[in-house]
A and B are shown apart, each in its own frame.
Chain A
Amino acid sequence: MRELDVELLWWEGCPSTDRALAAVREALTDLGLEAVEVRMREVKDDRDAAQTGFVGSPTILIDGVDLVPAAADEQIGLSCRVYRRRDGRVSPIPDPDDLREALRLAAERAEVKR
């Protein structure tokens, strides 16, 4: 048994960080995982972005894996990330159902403490 590792990478040029963090916390709460800490990591410049393979803000890593794996041609750099909702709409944050599903699967794999 171990802690689930959830990390939110953000860049100050995007206004979606608060909403993304709220969505992650809501999904964790829905799954009974509210004790899981969400680590916040600021990507400050192009060098940071290159080192982390940052393709846009927010990027949510669950056990080090991107919630929505970046496409091969996605550009690394400081920008706001484009997500798609399940109904096809463009959004600056992931679909809450995708988020919940990814966290649930990761928790099952890790047999996380609730």
Chain B
Amino acid sequence: MSISIGAHAPDFQLPDTDGATWSAFDPGPPTPPATVVVFTCNHCPYALALQDRLADAARDYADRGVRFLAINANDADRYPRDSYEAMQRRVAGEDWPMPYLHDATQEVAHAYGAKVTPDVFVLDSERRLRYRGAPDGDYDDPGQNAEWLREALDAVLGGSEPSRAETKPVGCSIKWKP
């Protein structure tokens, strides 16, 4: 299953590393003009290489009301570095400008059609999908600064369609449960 551009993204209720519950939809007030859902994890070099760029984007768009939600859906039984406890340790030791949510059942990742880490979904104020794909075109070039994600956010915040609504996310496959 995956979501088409323009379709409503599924809502969810997931815990962050402090145990607080977060939803894709925040009724406000004020209603966030955009929400970025990022499927990521602890052990993937692509996700790790792009983390700073995603965090910078979260900080840069915070004052415009954009919410960022990071989700880890990997099977922690086979990949213990992606356990909830490992997520908690990571957030405690780093500067995270967004909640890091645990999708233990993998239902949210399946509902969104997430494929890899990182996989980015930009939702508008009505929770419609407006961009899906990679943060930018090259994990190895920090200068790209999550430009595809930023272009999509600028478009949504400006009331227009992102010129690039879908790109191919590049990263480690999500580790599904057997």
Q: Give A residues with C-beta under 8 Å from B.
A: 13-16, 75, 77, 79-83, 89-92
The answer to whether B81 touches A75 (Cβ under 8 A) is yes
**Cβ distance B127 to chain A, nearest Cβ, rounded Å:** 30
Is B142 on the interface with A (CB-CB < 8 A)? yes
Closest 6 CB pairs of A and B: A92-B45, A90-B48, A80-B172, A13-B173, A82-B45, A90-B49
Which listed residue, A13, A77, A79, A89, touches B49 by the CB 8 Å rule?
A89
Q: Give B residues with C-beta under 8 Å from A.
A: 43-46, 48-49, 78-81, 139-140, 142, 170-173, 175
The answer to whether B48 touches A15 (Cβ under 8 A) is no
Q: A75-B81, A92-B139 are in contact. Are A82 and B173 (CB under 8 A)?
A: no
Main secondary structure of the interface of A (DSSP, over half): loop
Which listed residue, A13, A16, A79, A82, touches B48 by the CB 8 Å rule?
A82
**Cβ distance B177 to chain A, nearest Cβ, rounded Å:** 14
The answer to whether A79 touches B46 (Cβ under 8 A) is no
Chain B residue contacts of A92, Cβ below 8 A: 45-46, 49, 139
**Cβ distance A111 to chain B, nearest Cβ, rounded Å:** 34
The answer to whether B45 touches A83 (Cβ under 8 A) is yes
